[in-house]
């Protein structure tokens, strides 16, 4: 078993879940020092997503790969394709890919279009695979808050089923532990969401409850959001990505609520107010 992105919030949680189940792992990352030290796990790297030559030895020995998305705008397909190609070259038989809810060629959210491209590449690769489409991370609004804990954006009255990192990790652990050949999850797309769809304002209110801090929401128009981000010095690609995130919520395309978390893990999906980990404000623009 190999897991990428293990220095990040999701990859590290997946690795810890699997270690708790006694699954031997190869943990990949760009910064080996940041990879968690877990029982039964080997730390491999540096293994940047865009370096196929480094990825091959890092993945060597794995039969299943959990591919947690890379982050660079405009290069996700190239990076993910390099990982999948390297995995196939060293004999990886199965890939579990962490995608986004709403992924599609005409998705409002730019990153969801990128993820759809990877899904298509994976489907054409010939490797056994499962796509796990994660809903919007519940932590994202907190990371978007400014120093005064205000979250601004043009999400309107749209709703989204904000999901906890731990729930996504638990689903992925359940999927990869069903390792029959074939697995019942082969070829499937699983949509992982929180237990209810809520507006961004409601989600921010629940974050305030969870943290005991006065997070609050202020609506913006798309024009206001553009101007503010431009003044912050963001690139056009970054501005497009973030405004499209809000507009995807506003459009209602992320309001789906599924039973995947309770069905695969045996536990209910975690409400936003009950989540116990939150990033500091200002981590995203």
CA distance 246 to 225: 10
CA contacts within 13 A on the Cβ side of 12: 10
The residue behind tokens 């919520």 is 249
Q: How many CB atoms within 10 Å of residue 9? A: 17
Is residue 151 a contact partner of residue 157, using CB atoms and an 8 Å limit?
no
Q: How many CB atoms within 10 Å of residue 192? A: 26
Q: What is the token pair recorded at 33?
A: 């020092």
For residues 212-237, give the mean pLDDT: 95
| Per-residue b or e along 220-234, where b marks 16 or more CB atoms closer than 10 Å to that residue's CB | beeeebbebbeeeeb
Q: Is the dihedral of CA 225, 253, 213, 217 positive or negative?
A: positive
The per-residue pLDDT of the chain, averaged, comes to 96
pLDDT tens-digit profile of 12-65? 999 999 999 999 999 999 999 999 999 999 999 999 999 999 999 999 999 999
Nearest to 10 by CA among 72, 86, 71, 84: 71
Q: What is the token pair recorded at 63?
A: 């039969």
pLDDT above 90: percentage of residues in the chain: 94
Query: Strands (DSSP E) along the chain, which ranges?
Result: 2-3, 25-28, 41-44, 64-67, 94-100, 128-134, 150-153, 159-160, 189-192, 198-199, 216-219
Angle at which helix 76-89 crosses helix 110-125, to 10 degrees, equals: 20
pLDDT at 117: 96
Q: How many CB atoms within 10 Å of residue 157? A: 11
Helix (H, G, I), strand (E, B) or coil at 228: helix
Is residue 100 a contact partner of residue 132, using CB atoms and an 8 Å limit?
no
pLDDT at 285: 55
Please report, for the chain, the start and end positions of each structural domain, with discontinuous segments joined by +.
Answer: 2-136+164-193+256-271
pLDDT at 283: 73
Give the end-to-end CA distance of the chain in Å, rounded to a whole number: 34
Residue 255 to residues 32, 135, 192, 210: CA-CA distances in angstroms?
37, 9, 12, 22
- Going by pLDDT thresholds of 50, 70 and 90, the confidence category of residue 128 is very high
Q: Is the dihedral of CA 142, 279, 50, 185 positive or negative?
A: negative
pLDDT tens-digit profile of 65-102? 999 998 767 789 999 999 999 999 999 999 999 999 99
**Architecture of the structural domain at 2-136+164-193+256-271:** 3-Layer(aba) Sandwich (3.40)
Angle at which helix 76-89 crosses helix 52-59, to 10 degrees, equals: 40
Is residue 133 a contact partner of residue 100, using CB atoms and an 8 Å limit?
yes
Strand partners, 100: 134
Q: Write down the pTM of the prediction.
A: 0.96
Helix (H, G, I), strand (E, B) or coil at 163: strand
């Amino acid at each position: 078993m190999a897991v990428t992105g293990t220095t990040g919030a999701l990859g590290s949680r997946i690795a810890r879940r699997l270690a708790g189940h006694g699954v031997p792992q190869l943990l990949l990352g760009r910064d080996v020092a940041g990879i968690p030290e877990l029982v039964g796990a080997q730390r491999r790297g540096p293994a940047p997503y865009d370096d196929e030559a480094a990825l091959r030895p890092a993945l060597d020995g794995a039969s299943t790969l959990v591919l947690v998305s890379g982050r660079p705008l405009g290069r996700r397909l190239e990076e993910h394709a390099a990982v999948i190609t390297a995995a196939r070259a060293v004999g990886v038989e199965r890939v579990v890919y962490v995608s986004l809810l709403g992924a599609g060629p005409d998705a409002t959210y730019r990153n969801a279009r990128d993820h759809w491209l990877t899904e298509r590449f994976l489907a054409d690769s010939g490797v056994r695979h499962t796509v796990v489409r994660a809903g919007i991370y519940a932590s994202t609004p907190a990371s978007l808050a400014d120093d005064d804990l205000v979250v601004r954006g043009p999400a309107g009255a749209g709703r989204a089923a904000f999901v906890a990192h731990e729930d996504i990790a638990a689903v992925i652990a359940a999927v990869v532990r069903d390792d029959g050949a074939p697995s019942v999850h082969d070829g499937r797309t699983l949509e992982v969401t929180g237990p209810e769809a809520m507006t961004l304002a409601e989600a921010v209110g629940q974050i305030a409850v969870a943290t005991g801090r006065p997070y609050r929401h202020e609506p913006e128009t798309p024009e206001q959001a553009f101007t503010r981000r431009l003044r912050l010095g963001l690139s056009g690609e970054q501005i497009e990505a973030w405004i499209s995130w809000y507009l995807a919520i506003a459009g209602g395309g992320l309001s789906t609520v599924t039973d995947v978390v309770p069905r695969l893990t045996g536990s209910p999906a975690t409400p936003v107010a009950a989540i116990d980990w939150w990033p500091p404000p200002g981590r995203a623009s």
